[in-house]
Amino acid sequence: MSSELEAVIGLEIHVQLSTRTKMFCGCELSFGDEPNVHTCPVCLAHPGVLPVPNEEAIRYALKIGMALECEIAPRSIFHRKNYFYPDNPKAYQISQYDIPLAVDGRLGDIRIHRAHLEEDAAKMIHVGDSGRIHGSGASLVDFNRGGTPLVEVVTEPDLRSAAEAAEWARLLRETVRQLDVSDVNMEEGSLRVDANVSVRPSGSEELGTKTELKNMNSFRFLERGVEAELQRQRELIEAGGTVEQETLHFDPSDGTLTSLRSKEEAHDYRYFPEPDLVPLAPTEEMLREARESLPELPAARIERYEEQMGLEAEPAKFLASDPGLGGYFEEACRVAGAEVGPGGGGVEPRVVANWITGDLTATLRQRGDEEDFADPTVSAEDLAALVLMVTEKKISHGSGKAVLAALVVEGGDPAAIVEREGLAQISDAGELESIVAAAVEANPEAAEQIKAGNQKAIGAIVGAVMKETKGRADGGEVNRLILEQLGD
């Protein structure tokens, strides 16, 4: 086998904007309504009609462009992309071409090539066996979707594996979701991902011939589709073949890839500037409003959790993925006096994070609840109080878990639960000493082994103490007392 073949992947993501009306006419947006009820002469492309850009869509697109740290063009140009198809009533799509709204951004480690505004096509339903236009008995067009505002985001080919592509696409979805500009629902098609896939010898700077995978309607399918295509390309090249530029369709039901069209069949879209529209020049007010409306986005939040709050990458990503969860975490940290950061007194944020990502999430999941931290059964204050009690050794870690379980079920004040269940740690040194002494006596074999240097044997004695104290003893203290009593 020759040198390793490195994956080179770029994504093109279509985001349907959740504006009130369509991109170039006043028809309402809808999903799942009766076909062809949200139409007008403009979106049906009657003779003589003209497009009028939707200002709300422009504002939304500006937010996306800014969230992706793009440069916003002072004057971007709409173009006509010409092709015949029944889902495209004008026989051209109004899109952007050489001067898009936003260029040169990044999200996480991936560079954004461009983000531009365009309009969606209508939806086609093919009646008959094939489910495609060829061989169908009839094809129906639902123009409700036609003209929905879209932002197309195109990345640079910076992704290096199918898993990375899927994970990055999730980050993009979360980012766009938090901008509140799209439903980002892949099954309903409000977020659609195409992938440009190629391979090249590791270390090479040149790009290999790419293929385009269309419309994978879940992140799982995206990952599987890209993986399958990478494998196909690698096998092809290793067998001495060459990759042909083509557009492929991935069928998740059987994992097969079928060619939709080859390079020769590629359309000549005859792009030219849309004469019915003037250049898109956002006003200072629009730019300011978009800038000021940006929330802290997941990528920035992950960075802050890692760098300022000392979290590991995984919990940082988990907690930053959802603004409700992130807010919950930060509120708990604040109450627990953890916000000052590692080593600054109070509870360290990573301890709070561990409680949330570990015990709380597990308990909620066990109960079959969605982890909805926007409306939690355990308030951030109560969680903070609980974590503080454990950190200050007022209760043991094990008792803490029990209190949390009780809180999830019935809510209430953690201190009251500790009181009621008698979970307060045994703070009387004499009392704990005598319990330890009894346990050592009751486990002579273990005591001998410990004396012989086998530290692992201590578990049996600790277990006995914990059983006797119903978990109310501090594990560290118990260890210390056992070793002390055994004359170590």
Partner 1 sequence: MSELLELTVAQAARGIANGEIAPDEYFEAWRMAAATDDLNAYLWRAEDGVGAEGPLAGVPVAVKDIFCTEGMPTTAGSRILEAYVPPYTSTAVRHLREAGAGVLGKTNMDEFAMGSSNENSAYGPVLNPWDRGRVPGGSSGGSAAVVAGGLAPCAIGTDTGGSIRQPASLCGIVGMKPTYGAISRYGMIAFASSLDQCGPLTRDVTDAALLLGAMEGRDPCDSTSVGIEGGVELPSREGLEGVRFAVPAELAHDAIEPGVRTVFEETLKTIERLGGEISEVPLPHAEHGISAYYVIAPAEASSNLARYDGVRYGMRVEGGGDLIEMYESTRAEGFGDEVKRRIMLGTYALSSGYYEAYYGRAQKVRTKIAADFDAAFAQFDFVVTPTSPSVAFKLGEKTDDPLAMYMNDFFTVPMPLAGIPAISIPAGLATPEGGGPRLPVGFQIAAPAFAEQRLLDAAYALEQGIGFDAKPGGDD
Where on the chain is the footprint of partner 1 (CB under 8 A)? 41, 44-53, 80, 82, 84, 86, 89-92, 133, 139, 141, 268, 270-272, 275-278
What string of DSSP letters covers 225-274?
A: HHHHHHHHHHHHHHTT--PPPEEEEEETTTTEEEEEEESTT------EE-
What minimum distance in Å lies between the beta carbon of 141 and partner 1? 7
Cα of 94 vs its chain's centroid, Å: 30
Q: Which is nearer to partner 1, 266 or 374 (CB)?
A: 266
Q: Rounded to whole angstroms, how far apart are CA atoms 361 and 368? A: 10
**What is the Rg, in whole angstroms, of the alpha carbon atoms belonging to the chain?**
30
What minimum distance in Å lies between the beta carbon of 133 and partner 1? 7
Strand partners, 191: 15
In contact, 483 and 450? CB cutoff 8 Å:
yes
Q: Which is nearer to partner 1, 132 or 397 (CB)?
A: 132
Residues with Cβ < 8 Å from 252, sequence gap 6 or more?
A: 216, 218, 220, 221, 224, 225
What minimum distance in Å lies between the beta carbon of 124 and partner 1? 11
Q: Rounded to whole angstroms, how far apart are CA atoms 414 and 406? A: 9
Q: Which is nearer to partner 1, 52 or 207 (CB)?
A: 52
- Torsion angles phi and psi, residue 201, rounded to 5: -60, 140
What minimum distance in Å lies between the beta carbon of 46 and partner 1? 6
Tokens of 438: 């009894």
**What is the C-alpha end-to-end distance of the chain, expressed in Å?**
60
In contact, 215 and 35? CB cutoff 8 Å:
no
Q: Which is nearer to partner 1, 52 or 125 (CB)?
A: 52
Find where tokens 């011939």 sit: 209
| Three-state secondary-structure class, residue 162 | helix
Q: Which is nearer to partner 1, 137 or 444 (CB)?
A: 137
In contact, 60 and 116? CB cutoff 8 Å:
no
Q: Which is nearer to partner 1, 91 or 437 (CB)?
A: 91
Q: Which is nearer to partner 1, 35 or 295 (CB)?
A: 35
Q: Which is nearer to partner 1, 40 or 483 (CB)?
A: 40
What minimum distance in Å lies between the beta carbon of 83 and partner 1? 9
What minimum distance in Å lies between the beta carbon of 41 and partner 1? 5
What minimum distance in Å lies between the beta carbon of 267 and partner 1? 10
Q: Rounded to whole angstroms, how far apart are CA atoms 483 and 488? A: 5
What minimum distance in Å lies between the beta carbon of 309 and partner 1? 49
